[in-house]
Chains A and B, each alone.
Chain A
Amino acid sequence: MVWWLALLWALLKLIIAFLFIFLTALILIYMLRKVMGHMQYRMGPRHHGPHGIWQTVFDALKLLGKEDIIPNGIDKYVYLFAPVIAFVPSLTIFAFLPFAPKVAASNFEISLFFIFAILGFSTISLLMAGWGSNNKYSLIGGIRGAAQLISYEIPLVLSTMGVVIMAGSLNLTDIVNAQVKIWYIIPQIVGFFLFFTCGLAEINHTPFDIPEAESEIVSGFNTEYSGFRFAAFFLAEFVNLFIICALAVLLFFGGWKPFTNPIAGTICFIAKTYVLIFISMWVRSTFPRFRLDQFMDFGWKFMLPLSLVNIFVTAVVVLIVDKIR
């Protein structure tokens, strides 16, 4: 291939990825409003367009069109770059998510590992936002966020190890292809529970939205942000939700199976993801929030040992099955 054609192809991929991400975020916000609304005996947005489908579009436009307020006394570059660092990793992860066979921007051997590595960046963004804002609420939120993400990243990563052991690969496409006879949700039900819970904690989703607990510390790390910087945080949150659910589908629900056709596979994959997203929204509209110390106890004293036990049991069972064969 000529070099400029390769460049153009890469650019096209990037644009498609961007479009997809923005569309996903908009749809997710709209979906959240509708789902939560109907669970709370109300309608959700109704005014703009049929059933208010343009509401989130206008909201996004409003956020982008707002004045960019930069408070006094901040740590300027830290403050300005925090939303970027929150958003870019979420964007990058999309490069490694296979939607269907051959529908992936990049397919390389340790994609699962790489995704977790990049997901860890959001900790830095929370800390930066908390520190840079020169606001005590933000600071508390940032520190809480850092503590939470670090302690839940470990069980999150460990919970997927069972799947990795069973599939024998860190490549997401291979993991999906390995789920021929049975989806990993059945042998790895504990792993799925761990993954989904820690995943929700990782993206500050209710009941783990401690860094932005609005009743205590106003809005946590993003208290001082407004306009498109706030929009970046907001967008990153929803994109992360999609990523966690998509990962869960890839690891435990057989990805695009039973289809192998790229188009049908993609549709199937996205549909499965949306089912999981719906469940997370259900959780969001039902559960109250943990307190930080209880939450840490839960993470270190329950989730982490459980994930280690899960790895151990899986490894032993896999070994025995191999021996028998």
Chain B
Amino acid sequence: MADEIKNNEIEVDEISAVNEPGDFPKDYMEINFGPHHPSTHGVFRFIAKLDGEKILEVEPIVGYLHRGIEKIAENRTYVQFKPLVDRLDYTGAMNNEFGYCIAVEKLMELEVPLKAQAIRVICAELNRICAHEVFFGAMGLEVGAFTPFLFGFKDREIAMHLMEMLAGGRLTFNYFTIGGVRQDVPKGFYAETKEYLKKFKKNLAEYHELFSGNEIFIKRTKGVGVITREDAIEWSMSGPTLRGSGAVFDIRKVEPYSGYDKYDWEVPVGKNGDVYDRYLVRMNEMAQSARIIEQALESLPEGDHQAKVARVIKPPAGEIYLRVEGTKGELGFYVVSDGTDKPYRMKIRTPSFNHLNALNYVLKNNYIADFPIILGSFDTVMGSVDR
């Protein structure tokens, strides 16, 4: 990287700061992590240079899950491509569809019925809860506690069941359509969702009791992997990572889509920009998501669940960059249409991609025991990095 990139605040030990090219000590150890390491969140690989337990430099290597989704998009119609969007960030599939659908709708200047908008918000927030529960579980595993993993997944199971009621799928839904959602909510969905939210709030309190206040956990995560707000912006970080660094910034607030401005909720934010703050931001975000779902359920308007759309979708020629708040951060779709039924170019900007870009900067001069925690605090999903 360029010379301007400075290290984290922590000073390198005097022993480490000896001679040789690249300021490395003479006898550093090069060690390979991944692509099938237990805590790299999928098939991510990096080569780390270690001085004892301290990381001198890491070189991230991605691309093991590259499926060429952007090229596939150019060879399929808008409708055919939609299921593939689910496969990007597979823990937050609804949010991916959300971004894609409203990007195409904006390109077509299509109005979505109010009811469909509300259903979409419910789905997206349910999925956000799911994704953050996975984060919670994974965070537990990364600091060596196994119980949070099962706690998180137990709760996620019920949320997935709710989404199964809507879409029939549990992980990849293909539920949103361009112009609305595929089908109306089934009977019993409201009651079950309300019951789930009640349970969920209780469980969230239990998570905090079990894990957030744990002395060892706080000791492990406070002051580790600190990213200042300026650096986070410089590295194009977004979502909970950016908010953890003290920026009150949420695309749902800044560029409200699908009626997010109608609901009353807050943007959780951290102060120190360390792993613990990112963790807490995600935990609090789950509570806010529950709040949004409650309001959306109460004020669900009557009407159609889908706008009238032509069978073959042909957006007029033009281009658009549209971003939504995905589960991990800013999820953007740059769609170029040439007036045919296939996108001319589809660029997908995923948050995890940029977070991994900054990995060397964040991991430098940290202990090797901290790498899973810092990597886990970004909550990267390799499906969305490699595309």
Tell me whether A215 and B372 are in contact (CB under 8 A).
yes
User: Do B146 and A215 touch across chains, with their CB atoms under 8 A apart?
Assistant: no
Interface size in chain A (residues, C-beta < 8 A): 28
Instruction: Give B18-40 interface residues, CB cut-off 8 Å to A.
Output: 29, 31, 37-39
Interface residues of A in 175-229 (CB under 8 A from B): 206-207, 209-210, 213-218
Q: Which of A40, A41, A215 is in CB contact (< 8 Å) with B38?
A: A215
A residues less than 8 Å from B146 (CB atoms): 36, 40, 285
B378 within 8 A of A: no
- A-contacting 9-mer, from B95-103, B135-143, B159-167, B283-291: B135-143
A294 and B145 contacting across the interface, CB-CB below 8 Å? no
A–B complex contacts, Cβ < 8 Å, 10 sampled: A40-B147, A214-B38, A215-B38, A285-B146, A285-B147, A286-B145, A288-B216, A291-B220, A291-B369, A294-B220
- Which chain B residues lie closer than 8 Å to A41 at the CB level? 150-151, 154
At the interface, yes or no: A292 with Cβ under 8 Å from chain B? yes
A290 touches B220 (CB 8 A): yes
The SS class assigned to the B binding surface is helix
Please name the 10 residue pairs, one residue from A and one from B, whose CB atoms are nearest each other, closest first. A289-B144, A288-B143, A215-B39, A40-B150, A288-B145, A215-B372, A291-B369, A136-B31, A215-B142, A288-B144
Is B37 touching A288 in the complex (CB atoms < 8 A)? Answer: no
When distances are taken between beta carbons in the complex, the residues of chain B under 8 Å from A285 are 146-147
- Please state if A289 and B143 are interface contacts (CB–CB under 8 Å): yes
Which residues on the B side are within 8 Å of A215 (C-beta)? 38-39, 141-144, 372
Question: Please, which residues of chain B bring their CB within 8 A of the CB of A293?
Answer: 53, 367
Q: Which residues of A contact B (CB under 8 A)?
A: 36, 39-42, 136-137, 140, 206-207, 209-210, 213-218, 285-294
Tell me, yes or no, whether B214 is within 8 Å of chain A by CB: yes
Q: What is the bound-complex CA distance between A210 and B370, given in angstroms?
A: 12
Q: Does B110 contact A (CB under 8 A)?
A: no
Residues of chain A lying within 8 A (CB to CB) of residue B214: 286-288
Q: Are the C-beta atoms of A216 and B147 separated by less than 8 Å?
A: no
Complex-state Cα separation, A209 to B144, whole angstroms? 8
Docked-complex contact B29 and A136, CB < 8 angstroms: yes
CB-contact partner of B145 in A42, A140, A216, A287, under 8 A:
A287
By size class, the interface of chain B is 20 to 34
Q: Please tell me if the beta carbons of B217 and A292 are within 8 angstroms of each other in the complex.
A: no
Return B98 CB to nearest CB of chain A, in Å: 31
Q: How far is the CA of A47 from the CA of B167 in the complex (A)?
A: 33
Q: A289 near B53 (CB under 8 angstroms)?
A: no
Min C-beta distance of A132 to chain B, whole Å: 18
Chain B interface residues (CB < 8 Å from chain A): 29, 31, 37-39, 53, 140-147, 150-151, 154, 210-211, 214, 216-217, 219-220, 367-372
A292–B144 alpha-carbon span in the complex (Å): 13
Find chain A residues with CB under 8 A from B219 CB: 290-291, 294
Question: Who on chain A is nearest to B371 by CB?
Answer: A216
How close is B145's CB to chain A, nearest CB, in angstroms? 4
| CA–CA, A192 and B352, complex, Å | 47
CA distance A41 to B137 in the complex (A): 14
Report A13 CB to chain B, min CB distance, Å: 38
- Whether the Cβ atoms of B147 and A39 lie closer than 8 Å is yes
Residues of the B chain whose Cβ atoms lie less than 8 Å from the Cβ of A287? 144-145, 214, 216
Max count, chain B CB within 10 A of own CB: residue among A40, A137, A286, A291: A291
**Hey, which chain B residues are within 8 Å of A209, CB to CB?**
144
A216 touching B368, Cβ below 8 Å: yes
Q: Which residues of B contact A36 (CB under 8 A)?
A: 146-147
A285 and B149 CA atoms in complex are apart in Å by 11
Q: Which of A42, A207, A214, A217 contacts B216 (CB 8 A)?
A: A207
Cα-based distance from A140 to B54 in the complex (angstroms): 12
Given contacts A209-B144, A288-B216, contact A42 B39 (CB under 8 A): no
Measured CA separation A216–B220 after assembly (Å) = 14
Known: A210-B369, A215-B143, A287-B144. 19 other contacts (CB 8 A): A36-B146, A40-B146, A40-B151, A136-B31, A140-B53, A140-B368, A207-B144, A215-B39, A215-B141, A217-B368, A285-B146, A286-B210, A288-B143, A288-B220, A289-B216, A289-B220, A291-B219, A293-B53, A294-B219
Inter-chain CA distance A287–B372, complex, in Å, is 17
Per the bound structure, the CA–CA distance linking A40 and B210 in Å amounts to: 12
A222 to chain B, nearest CB (A): 14
- For the complex, what is the distance from the CA of A227 to the CA of B150, rounded to whole Å? 28
Determine if B147 and A286 form an interchain contact, defined as CB atoms under 8 angstroms apart.
yes
A289 pairs with B151, CB closer than 8 A: no
Q: Which of B146, B371, B372: most chain A CB closer than 10 A? A: B146
**Chain B contacts of A289 at CB under 8 A?**
143-145, 216, 220
State whether A218 and B37 are in contact (beta carbons under 8 Å apart), knowing that A292-B367, A293-B367 are contacts in the complex.
Answer: yes
A206 to B368, CA, bound (A): 19
**Distance to closest chain B CB from A73 (angstroms):** 16
Which single residue of chain A is at the shortest CB-CB distance from B32? Answer: A136
Q: Nearest Cβ in chain A — how far from B159, in angstroms?
A: 15
Query: Which residues of A sit under 8 angstroms from B372, Cβ to Cβ?
Result: 215-216
Residues of B within 8 A of A216 (CB): 39, 368-369, 371-372
